[in-house]
Amino acid sequence: MRAAVALLASAAFAQQAPPRTGSVEGRVINQITGEGLRKASVRIYGSGGGNRGGGPVAASETTSEADGSFHLENVLPGTYRVVAERPGFVYARDPRRPDSQITVTPGASAKISDIKMTPHAVVAGRITDEDGDPVQGATIQLSRYQFVAGKRQLLPTHSGSTNDLGEYRIHSVIPGRYVLSASKGGAGFSPYLPPPAMPRAVMRPTIDQPEKSYVATYYPGGFDATTAAPLDLAAGQEFRGADIRITKTAVYRIRGTVTGLVNDSNHRGWPSAVAYLYPVSLARFVGADRRPTPVDSRTGAFEIRGVRPGSYYVMVQQQGGAHSRTAFTSVEVGEGDIESLPMQVREAADIKGRVAIDAGTANFEQTQIQLTPVIGFAVASPTVKPGKDGAFGLSNVAPLRYRVAVPGLPDGFYMKSIQWGGRDVADSEIDFSAGAAGELVVKLASGAGQVEGVVRDEKGDPAPNVKVTIAPEGALASWWELYREVTSGNDGSFRLPNLRPGAYRIYAWQGIEPGAHQDPEFLKPFESRSSPISLAAGASVTVHPKPIAVPGVL
């Protein structure tokens, strides 16, 4: 009896005993000089085993030594991400990078690759008005050209404000090329890029003196980014004297009337509608410049003030009920106010669809159907997972134009076509603005190809943490969903699965702007250094590309 009790007690103790721990060690270095960095804060976080039953708490933070080395003890088994911080340096925390992850096993010491930190850049200057007086509280913004859905667009990256002397200082800037702008409180904006041609809206010429207001001004002076002098910031550089004088300029109004709104007094839960204004060239989902303006839900009237000449999109949204309502149009503002802009909201739709395969069965557990608005700054991307039979439904789809993406393809399958309204729209757009009656059919085909290999440098050594991208050629070049990227492992290896058969080029990049691999114009100068391949159905191609350095990109 005593033996049985002792055995049970021993088993209970074993169940409560904490798991054996491990440790993490590594080194933080200056990416430019290769020297160790002392006093860097190193943290780990992730799926450690927790602290059940009074067990040890996983160590989560430490400080690097004089030579940059660090050691974390008493770490519970699990997979962690590792990040580092140090004043004066920046660290790109990309969770897809193999060197940012570490797996800890009981009783073992996990060694992570060197954490490379880049000396940050600093921009400093002074903002004055037309009289040369300092502007307190001016908004300073650093923006960077990036590629969104294959299009080069300007995205804000850092911001700051001026003190009572009109002075500002923006630190922790990743080295690269930037556009600097300043605006006074409530300032309007100007189109970032030359707008495409579009029909001019009905406009009333301004006979009286036009209204003047402060608008965003780009360094060293000017009201749109095409006139800006770019700032090429090197690692560790402190760029001083980036002064901007902001002045008032002529601005105009857009007045319109919206029909089709649900009146608040008759339908409980419907708020007032809101009108948004965006420059044509503004990147998707950048909320800083969307200029929300209330719409009177009873009369449908709205007025947007302080608009510079240029091309814009106007969107009206009314949220509430099972389906939102949206109106969308384009306008061109010239030397005058726009009057009586007509807009009609349409109700969002529920769309039914199915995933069809050419033969056999497929596991759709990781598959998603995603509608990406081509122009929809205030609209989400409807996403759904198909059922086991491939059927799916997309709810509350705004009446806009979309592209269809299918992330998480079943292993061995590729997207063959997307059928809507009797035509294949896989490499084009679906326009739901005139209605969404019909069935969306996503066709998958077996026999997907793959590309694998090892990235090697000029010496033939494996190159870890290199962005490997694939770009389609010929008729598929406009199909930006086929542009894919992956990061090489610590041994330089990479794999790109589930590829549509066709002609491609493989590139390996030491550094590249986000999304640039989707832009055929960006890729042209580097074609001679790429690896062309022809991928047959079900084939596996092995290539060993060499890293390409892009000027101005770390």
Contact 304, 282 (CB under 8 A): no
CB atoms within 10 A of CB 152: 17
Structure tokens at 471: 């770009």
Residue 371: partners with Cβ closer than 8 Å, 6 or more residues away: 381, 382, 383, 394, 397, 402, 403, 404, 430
d(CA 217, CA 464): 42
d(CA 443, CA 426): 10
**Cβ neighbourhood burial of 125 (10 Å; 0-12, 13-18, 19+):** buried
d(CA 24, CA 20): 14
Half-sphere exposure of 214 (CA within 13 A, CB side): 18
d(CA 440, CA 394): 10
**Regions of the chain where pLDDT drops below 50:** 5-14, 50-58, 94-96, 98, 186-207, 269, 283-288
Residues 113-160: tens digit of each pLDDT: 888 888 999 999 999 999 999 999 999 999 988 777 666 778 888 999
**Cβ neighbourhood burial of 230 (10 Å; 0-12, 13-18, 19+):** middle
Q: List phi, psi (to 5°) of 64.
A: -70, 150
SS3 per-residue string spanning 369-419: EEEEECCCCCCCCCEECCCCCCEEEEEEECCCEEEEECCCCCCCEEEEEEE
Ordered by where they begin, the domains of the chain are 2-118 (2.60.40.1120), 120-347 (2.60.40.1120), 349-446 (2.60.40.10), 449-543 (2.60.40.1120)
Radius of gyration of the chain (CA): 28
Q: List phi, psi (to 5°) of 30.
A: -80, 120
Contact 56, 74 (CB under 8 A): yes
Residue 2: partners with Cβ closer than 8 Å, 6 or more residues away: none
Tell whether pTM > 0.85.
no
Q: List phi, psi (to 5°) of 107.
A: 75, 5
SS3 119: strand
pLDDT given for residue 134 in this prediction = 96
d(CA 12, CA 4): 12
**Cβ neighbourhood burial of 241 (10 Å; 0-12, 13-18, 19+):** exposed
Contact 313, 373 (CB under 8 A): no
Structure tokens at 16: 């409560």
Contact 257, 301 (CB under 8 A): yes
pLDDT given for residue 185 in this prediction = 64
Geometric angle at alpha carbon 188, from 185 and 193, rounded to 5°: 135
